[in-house]
Chain A
Amino acid sequence: MSAPAAKLEVSGLQKRFGGLTAVKDVSFSVHAGEVLGLIGPNGSGKSTVMKSILGVERPDAGSVRVDAREVAGWPPHRIAQLGVGMVFQHSRPLHRQTVLENILLGLLPDRLFDLLPRAAADARARAIAERVGLSAVLNRRPTTLPFADLRKIEIAKAIARDPQVVLIDEPFAGLTARETASFAKLITEMRDDGRAVLIVDHNVKSMSALVDRVYAMNVGEKIAEGTVAEVMANETVRRVYLGGALTTAARREASFVDAQTPFLEIENLSVVYDKAQALEGVSLHVHHGEFVAIVGLNGAGKTTLFNAVSGLVPYAGDIRRQGKPLRGRTAATISREGIVQSPEGRELFGLMTVSENLDMGGHGLGDKERGERREWLFNLFPILKERQRQTAATLSGGEQQMLTIARALMMKPDLLILDEPTLGLAPVVMEQISKALERLRQTTDITVLLGEQNVTFALPHADRVYVLEHGRIVWEGEPSRFAAEAGAIYL
Chain B
Amino acid sequence: MALRAFVSPPVLISLIVVLLAATLPLYVSGYVLGLLTIAYYFGVFSMAWDLLFGFANEVNFGPSFLIGLGAYTAGILDNLYQPPIALCIAAGVLAAMIGGMVLALPALRVRGPYFGLTTLVAVLILQNFVVVAAGLTGGEIGLTIPDVISIDEKVNYWIALGFMGVSGAILYGLTRSPVGLILQASGQDPVQAGALGFNVTKHKLAAFLVSAFFSGLAGALMAFYLGTASVGTFIDVTVGVQVIIGAVLGGRRTILGAVLGAVFLVALGETLRPLGDLATFIVSAVALIVVLFFPAGLLGMVKGAREAT
Contacts and interface: CB of A to CB of B under 8 A. Distances in A.
A88 B195 CA distance: 10
B177 A116 contact: yes
Given A56-B191, A118-B2, A157-B196, A113 B185 contact: no
A114 B177 contact: yes
Contacts of A141: 307
Contact of A80 (B177, B185, B196): B196
A112 interface: yes
A110 B200 CA distance: 9
**On chain A, which size bracket covers the interface?**
20 to 34
B196 A105 contact: yes
Given A54-B195, A141-B307, A77 B179 contact: no
A361 interface: no
A393 interface: no
Contact of A92 (B182, B188, B194, B199): B188
Name the residue among B173, B174, B181 with the largest chain A CB count within 10 angstroms.
B181
A157 B307 CA distance: 24
B109 interface: no
A112 B181 contact: no
Contacts of A105: 181-182, 185, 196
A75 B182 contact: no
A54 B307 CA distance: 36
Contacts of B182: 105, 108, 110
A55 B196 contact: no
A96 interface: yes
B20 interface: no
B192 interface: yes
Contacts of A86: 192, 195
Nearest to A112: B206
B178 A55 contact: no
Given A104-B181, A115-B177, A116-B177, A77 B192 contact: no
Interface string B123-155: 000000000000000000000000000000000
Interface in B224-260: 253
Contacts of B188: 92, 94
B195 A115 contact: no
A56 B200 CA distance: 12
Contacts of B203: 112
Contact of A76 (B3, B173, B194, B307): B194
Contacts of B181: 94, 97, 101, 104-105, 108
A119 interface: yes
Contacts of A56: 191, 194-195
A111 interface: yes
Contact of A115 (B174, B189, B196): B174
A85 interface: yes
Interface string B161-189: 00000000000011001110110110011
Interface string A276-303: 0000000000000000000000000000
Interface in B180-218: 181-182, 184-185, 188-189, 191-200, 202-203, 206
B5 interface: yes
Interface string B75-119: 000000000000000000000000000000000000000000000
A413 interface: no
Contacts of B178: 104, 108, 114-117
Interface string B25-44: 00000000000000000000
A56 B198 CA distance: 13
Contact of B199 (A75, A88, A116, A157): A75
Nearest to A108: B178
A258 to B, nearest CB: 49
Interface string A44-61: 000000000011100000
Contact of B197 (A80, A97, A104): A80
A214 B21 CA distance: 68
Given A112-B202, A117-B177, A77 B194 contact: yes
B177 A161 contact: no
Name the residue among B5, B179, B189, B197 with the largest chain A CB count within 10 angstroms.
B197
Contacts of A432: none
Given A76-B194, A108-B178, A117-B5, 20 more contacts: A55-B194, A56-B195, A75-B194, A75-B199, A77-B193, A80-B195, A80-B196, A80-B198, A85-B196, A86-B192, A96-B253, A105-B182, A110-B202, A112-B203, A112-B206, A114-B177, A114-B179, A117-B178, A118-B2, A157-B196
27 contacts: A54-B194, A54-B195, A55-B194, A56-B194, A56-B195, A75-B194, A76-B191, A77-B199, A80-B195, A88-B192, A96-B253, A97-B184, A104-B178, A104-B181, A105-B181, A105-B182, A105-B185, A112-B179, A112-B203, A114-B179, A115-B174, A115-B178, A116-B2, A116-B177, A117-B5, A141-B307, A157-B196
* 10 closest A-B pairs by CB: A76-B194, A80-B197, A86-B195, A115-B177, A77-B199, A114-B178, A81-B197, A116-B2, A92-B189, A108-B178
